Amino acid sequence: MSLISPACRDALQLWLEGLTALAGRSENTINAYRGDVSDFLSFMTLHHSERQGLAALERITVSDMRAWMAQQRESGVGARSLARKLSAVKSFYRWLAEREGFEPTAVLSTRAPKYTKKLPRPLAEDAARAMIETVELQSGSDWVAARDVAVVTLLYGCGLRISEALSLTGADAPLPNTLRIVGKGDKERIVPVIPAARQAVDRYLELCPHPQSPTAPLFRGVRGKALSPRAIQGVMAKARMQLGLPATATPHAMRHSFATHLLSAGGDLRAIQELLGHASLSTTQAYTAVETARLMEVYNRAHPKA
């Protein structure tokens, strides 16, 4: 028997459908929210020894919230993950309270656990260049090598997410001076395409044995199907081992490197936010912390009074 009452299950589904239709949340985000809120509702059923209908959810207390958070921590859920779960529960409750007309203070006033935000881990400029050069050496097939170089160059040269690069189609080729990218939450942005990225994609297209069409994926796997992100993750893993780079040298690290290197060259934070497609400037500001940490490293190493 489900631990979640039919009324709660229906309310949860309605909330998720609204997020999909109105807020443009991705499938991964919706699945994460579904799991987080379902786990919370299941806990409340066990905590009160009965399935919680909508009326019972209105009576949840601060003590109930503390019990849930304690159970999560005892189960090994880290502070960052618990903060994410609490955020999903609060979002659901905010919507439910407005719909049902009750006061959700006990839930909304619950404080998330404190945690240290992880800073982006970019590659140094010479390491980013070496990564692109070394990626080319990982395949015996000229067209596959050219493909891998084109994808990684787009990540570093344009700050694309791997999913964004692999969502390009034949209609985007040859690459123009600017690309219209649809990122997280269906947020559109215009991204300048540097000559090196255009040249890398042109070389790949010249060598690619699979016919291109406007609706087909631009980047293909060996058998002609859409290229999987795992293929690029795998080729970068081989390259970083040869270069002696840490495990953090992933496709996403190339995007981090794009932002960090722009910032260190004097790029405007707001402009970088637009280029990355961040909804909030606070997300982009993480790169200022990276740059500050790097400058302090140089200071401590080089200054005679350090």
Hey, which residues are catalytic here? 161, 184, 252, 255, 278, 287
Who's near 53: CB < 8 A, 6+ residues apart? Answer: 5, 7, 8
Alpha helices by DSSP H, listed for the chain, are 6-18, 27-48, 54-58, 62-74, 79-100, 105-108, 125-135, 142-158, 162-166, 195-207, 229-243, 251-264, 269-276, 281-284, 286-302
Record the tokens describing residue 275, joined without a space: 């280029």
- Residues 229 and 250: beta-carbon distance below 8 Å: no
Distances (CA, A) of 155 to 48, 201, 206, 254: 50, 12, 20, 6
Helix (H, G, I), strand (E, B) or coil at 217: strand
CA atoms of 160 and 46, how far apart (whole Å) = 44
